[in-house]
Amino acid sequence: MYTKDGENYFVVDGHTHFWDASPANWIRGQEKYAKGWIECFHAYQGLGPAETHWPIEKFQKYSEETMMRDLFDDGHVDVAIFQPTNLRQWYVNGFNTTEVDGAMSERHPGKFVVNTTWDPREGDEGLRALEEHAKRWDCKGVKLYTAEWRGDSRGWNLKSAESARYLEKCQELGIRNIHVHKGPTIWPLDKDAFDVSDVDFAATNFPELNFIVEHVGLPRIEDFCFMATQEPNVYAGLAVVIGGLMHARPRFFAKVMGELMFWLGEDKLIFGADYAIWEPRWQVEGFVDWNMPEDDEFGDYGKLTVTQKKKILGLNAARLYDLKVPADLEDAKEKTTEPVGVPAS
């Protein structure tokens, strides 16, 4: 729990990783991708405050103790949600798998929510694996990468019949939160992998599931917002928004937050530090201290209230994941408000 100026913030980090990108885990022949991937992540860390930058060796592989300290001792996080990224084509034991996350979660009861992943191209076998993971780690969410290249397949989308089978399976297993990565990707080469129309389709067909678009579709926030205004069960994952912009580009950060509040509203925004790209501490403290600048340039946007920040930093995710929050925050957790938005005129 983070307390500032007499206000309590229950912090849920909606997007965290425990990865191993050390050279020992690189697959032979794939070294340039394995190395390029982690170096790319490391460059993103450069957008945070200088005192939070890590040397590349630490960034490639950090210890469990480091992570526990950065999140829970220093980082004000109450509960963190693991989002797996397998990348088994480049990393021998995977980059950040459900298995590794799940094992860590078991060693620290109550600290983590373990999400798993699926890929509809894995057919019946994938469905069985999903069920196994979901039962083993009591998963309430999944992280999906629709743009992933595999063999001859140029990625997949949530509109397909195969995807619908998996979404039905999620419902059956009690997995309610579908986190979809819509952001920078590598393959297929010519594809605009930021297309969110499949999320639109699935969100309409599965109104009981929540769809959290990670990285708010960056760099295509406009397409994402336009879609999200039409779907009550679509949420914005703020990983990268706070970490990548709040320190490095504060004025753009203010505008992006202004737009997200305008089009989606306070109940739909989910904080995620995206550890270990960025540590949560400066993000949580900075966001609580932050507000919309006074200049005319920001005149279209409203200021954020303490309650709105509480929702964004944790209560919204707590609502989606049924996390128990302190009694004094229960009310704010359940309250829902209509976004400012613009009327559909």
Partner 1 sequence: MSGTTGTAQVTVGSEPEIRPAVWSALGTVRDPELDEPLTELGFVSHCEVSPTGEALVRLRLPTYFCAPNFAFLMVADAYDAVSAVPGIRRTVVELTDHFAADVINSGVAARAGFLGTFGDEAVDELDGLRADFVRKAVLAGTDRVCRAMVRAGTDPASLAGLALGDAPESTDRERLRARRRELGLPSTDRDPLVLDPATGAGVEEAGMRRHLGFARLTRVSQEANSGVCRGMLRARYPESQPTATQGQEQT
Question: Which residue ranges make up the site for partner 1 (CB under 8 A)?
Answer: 32-33, 36-37, 39-40, 43-44, 46-47, 152, 154, 184-192, 218-222, 225-226, 244-245, 248-253, 255-256, 258-259, 262-263, 296, 300, 342-345
Residue whose pair of structure tokens reads 């709105």 in the numeric block:
308
Beta carbon nearer to partner 1, 222 or 331 = 222
Please, what is the minimum distance in Å from the beta carbon of residue 342 to partner 1?
5
Beta carbon nearer to partner 1, 149 or 162 = 149
Q: How far is CA 119 from the centre of its chain?
A: 18
Residue 215 makes CB contacts below 8 A (sequence gap 6+) with 181, 182, 183, 237, 239, 240, 241
Beta carbon nearer to partner 1, 138 or 259 = 259
Give the H/E segment covering residue 154. none
Please, what is the minimum distance in Å from the beta carbon of residue 207 to partner 1?
25
Instruction: Report yes or no: 209 and 167 within 8 Å, Cβ to Cβ.
Output: yes
190, 262, 266, 290, 310 from 338: Cα distances, Å = 38, 10, 8, 23, 17
**Longest CA pairwise span in the chain (Å):** 57
Beta carbon nearer to partner 1, 246 or 313 = 246
Cis status of the peptide bond prior to 232, with omega within 30 of 0: no
Beta carbon nearer to partner 1, 203 or 245 = 245
Please, what is the minimum distance in Å from the beta carbon of residue 195 to partner 1?
10
Joined tokens for residue 193 = 């992998």
Beta carbon nearer to partner 1, 101 or 223 = 223
Beta carbon nearer to partner 1, 39 or 289 = 39
Please, what is the minimum distance in Å from the beta carbon of residue 42 to partner 1?
8
Joined tokens for residue 246 = 């709040």
Give the H/E segment covering residue 210. strand 210-214
Please, what is the minimum distance in Å from the beta carbon of residue 97 to partner 1?
21
Evaluate the CA torsion angle 199, 94, 313, 332 in order and state its sign: positive
Give the H/E segment covering residue 131. helix 123-137
Joined tokens for residue 107 = 């060693």
Please, what is the minimum distance in Å from the beta carbon of residue 8 to partner 1?
31
Please, what is the minimum distance in Å from the beta carbon of residue 216 to partner 1?
9
